[in-house]
Structure 1
Amino acid sequence: MTAAAEPAAPSVPLAEEARRTHRSARWRRTAVPYLLLAPALITFGVFKAYPILDSLLLSFTTGSGAATRDAGLANYRRLLDDPLFWTALRNTAEILVVQVPLMLGLALLMAAGINSVLVRWRAVWRLGVFMPAVTGLVATGVMFAFLLNTEHGAVNWLLDAVGLPAVDWLGRPFWARMSVVLVLTWHYTGYNAVIYLAGLQGIPKELYEAAMVDGAGPVRRFTAITVPALRPVLLFTVVLSTIGTLQLFDEPYVLTGGGPDNATLTVSMYLYQNGFRYFDFGYASAVAYALTLLVSVLGAVQMRLMGERGT
């Protein structure tokens, strides 16, 4: 009996070894994805999550360096009574209300024109309308500063050539804001037109053919087929353009420096001034989080309204 039982003794270490191998393989299957994600997670934590949390804590402080001290909600209460903040917010809103509909309307018309069967050399047209989007923002601002110069600018020279009076583009509040609108429209219209063009090319031609058989004209086909089919693309461009305009900084900073008389001062420029000109980092952080809240609310409202219409 003893001799018959002896061959079964090695099975204990073999079973233990099998269990260890199984645990090791299971650990590798669990750990390897996290190890592969670790560089991206570490980068996100160091360069994204930490600055976001640190700036949030900074918004509840005042002073700078070793003199930093807790301020509670004082910076946020200060926002409510700060006339310059409300001026910057009003300027940003006025530019947004004019520029975004104008730019997206022109982009949609441009895309529809390029998508027309009568247009040849579509690739060349796409490249041409997209070129302004790859131009540096600082270079764009400098270029338009020369073009819109009151004394020697090309725009006023053209106005004079057709018998119209010169315009003080950068010296009067209204025209300074319109100059910013002009620069933004020139820079981003082609970018949105290419997005719309991709959406238009995804609409089945059979829908247009059926509408033509039913007697629908161009306007009816555009409102009944094109616009509903482009609703997701329209939502994307409206939200993206709204967020970009609310964060407007480069163009007015280079073109007008926020003037004249703070007429083109935007929220992002006001944030920059408080942080890097006056070194009031706590208040600048509060301005940043107020802007973040505004962007989030407007984006959510736009997605809610346009999403409901699309269902």
Structure 2
Amino acid sequence: MKNHRKGHLINKGNAPYVLLAPTILIFVLFMIYPIIRSLYLSFFELKSGCYQFVGLHNYIVLFHDRTFYKSLFNTVVYLVIQVPVMILLALAIAVLIEEKFLRGKAFFRTSVFLPSITALVAYALVFKVLLNGDHGLINYVIELFGAKGVNWFYGEWSARIAIIMAITWRWTGYNMIILLAGIQSIPDSLQEAARIDGATARQRFVYITVPMVKQIILFCTITSTIGTLQLFDEPFILTSGGPNNATITMGEYLYDNGFRYLKFGYASAIGYVMTIIIFLLSALQFKATAKGDTD
């Protein structure tokens, strides 16, 4: 009887851990282990079917790799151009949707948000058709205005612009919904008081809306930065990194080395360098925002 009670108490005390065990096990197997294994592999090189310890050799080679620097440059181009344009566009749409004169707000919210739930491969293939240099719809519209069509995927900058347009189309709605939630949390009394004082729409936007959703803008900027630094699907499907590596990203270069050339150690080194870059940029964004708040 005493042993039965003791066992019952032990089972009751361990119940939360038993329930959490499957989740913890999956997290360890598919998150923690791959992170540790990737760090381990970054110090090894596959030779003749066996892994050989090479120390920092993969990292040294990486910092002399012109293709890696090209992929880093392309990724920074996407980051510097696409992220600010997308955040500003998302903020503008969110503000417009919240205006009282607009009718059918649910329809517009849904329409703008729908691209973000579209399958990555499907929408990338649609853009590949739309931007076709010979019979694409976008070139057809351009030619209607008397301009010459663009061979989007055959020029370095035109291919980059094509990818930027595709990413912006997909993720603007996602950020718009987040910003819209922040704008809706602003007390109506603030906007009404500003209107009574004679503030214009631009002044209300600059001095009320933006300061009140500043932290949400930061959140959207950081998540968009991380997503852009990990960009893979669009360049891989639309341009395959071409022409002449003009659109290859760090994520695609990691994939090529790991799964095309089977250089798992080198790919792991690229992954950890990407992680460091993402951490540093995120830290800088947090620091810049914190400094702005203190000022």
Alignment of 1:66-145 (within 5 A): 66-145=49-128
Asked if the contact 1:228–1:310 (Cα under 8 Å) also holds between the matched residues in 2, the reply is no
Aligned pair partner of 1:296 in 261, 264, 279: 279
For 1:83 and 1:116, the matched residues in 2 are separated by 50
Alignment of 1:245-264 (within 5 A): 245-264=228-247
Gap runs ≥5 in structure 2: none
Asked if the contact 1:62–1:280 (Cα under 8 Å) also holds between the matched residues in 2, the reply is yes
Asked if the contact 1:274–1:281 (Cα under 8 Å) also holds between the matched residues in 2, the reply is yes
Which amino acid is the alignment partner of residue 46 of structure 2?
G
Q: What secondary structure does 2:245 align onto?
A: coil
Asked if the contact 1:247–1:267 (Cα under 8 Å) also holds between the matched residues in 2, the reply is yes
User: 2:201 maps to which residue?
Assistant: 218
For 1:142 and 1:20, the matched residues in 2 are separated by 64
For 2:266 and 2:103, the matched residues in 1 are separated by 55
Aligned length: 294
CA shift for structure 1 position 310: 3.5
Alignment of 1:167-206 (within 5 A): 167-206=150-189
Asked if the contact 1:64–1:280 (Cα under 8 Å) also holds between the matched residues in 2, the reply is no
For 1:87 and 1:233, the matched residues in 2 are separated by 32
User: 1:268 maps to which residue?
Assistant: 251
User: 1:5 maps to which residue?
Assistant: none
User: 1:233 maps to which residue?
Assistant: 216
Q: What secondary structure does 1:216 align onto?
A: coil
Q: What secondary structure does 2:290 align onto?
A: helix
For 1:65 and 1:184, the matched residues in 2 are separated by 41
Which amino acid is the alignment partner of residue 37 of structure 2?
D
For 2:131 and 2:29, the matched residues in 1 are separated by 43
Asked if the contact 1:274–1:283 (Cα under 8 Å) also holds between the matched residues in 2, the reply is yes
After TM superposition, the structure 1 stretch with the greater mean CA deviation from structure 2, 284-293 or 214-223, is 214-223
For 2:208 and 2:12, the matched residues in 1 are separated by 50
Which amino acid is the alignment partner of residue 135 of structure 2?
H
CA shift for structure 1 position 27: 3.6
Q: What whole-Å deviation, never above 9, does each CA across 1:21-69 have from its counterpart, x for those lacking one?
A: 5x65664454222111111111111111111111110010001574210
Q: What whole-Å deviation, never above 9, does each CA across 1:248-285 have from its counterpart, x for those lacking one?
A: 00001100000111100100010011111111110000
For 1:234 and 1:143, the matched residues in 2 are separated by 30
User: 2:140 maps to which residue?
Assistant: 157
For 1:135 and 1:252, the matched residues in 2 are separated by 17
For 1:299 and 1:96, the matched residues in 2 are separated by 13
Identity %: 44
Which amino acid is the alignment partner of residue 240 of structure 1?
T
For 2:282 and 2:24, the matched residues in 1 are separated by 27
User: 2:36 maps to which residue?
Assistant: 53
For 2:226 and 2:65, the matched residues in 1 are separated by 23
Which amino acid is the alignment partner of residue 78 of structure 1?
V
Are residues 71 and 169 of structure 1, via their aligned partners in 2, closer, same or farther at CA, if it must alter by over 3 Å? same
Q: Could you tell me the TM-score, scaled by structure 2's length?
A: 0.95
Q: Which has the larger radius of gyration?
A: 1
Q: What whole-Å deviation, never above 9, does each CA across 1:174-195 have from its counterpart, x for those lacking one?
A: 1100001000011111111111
Q: What secondary structure does 1:68 align onto?
A: strand
Q: What secondary structure does 2:242 align onto?
A: coil
CA shift for structure 1 position 136: 1.0
Gap runs ≥5 in structure 1: 1-13
After TM superposition, the structure 1 stretch with the greater mean CA deviation from structure 2, 28-37 or 284-293, is 28-37
Which amino acid is the alignment partner of residue 41 of structure 1?
I
Q: What whole-Å deviation, never above 9, does each CA across 1:74-101 have from its counterpart, x for those lacking one?
A: 1011111011000000000011100000
Asked if the contact 1:64–1:279 (Cα under 8 Å) also holds between the matched residues in 2, the reply is no
After TM superposition, the structure 1 stretch with the greater mean CA deviation from structure 2, 174-183 or 299-308, is 299-308
Q: What secondary structure does 1:253 align onto?
A: helix
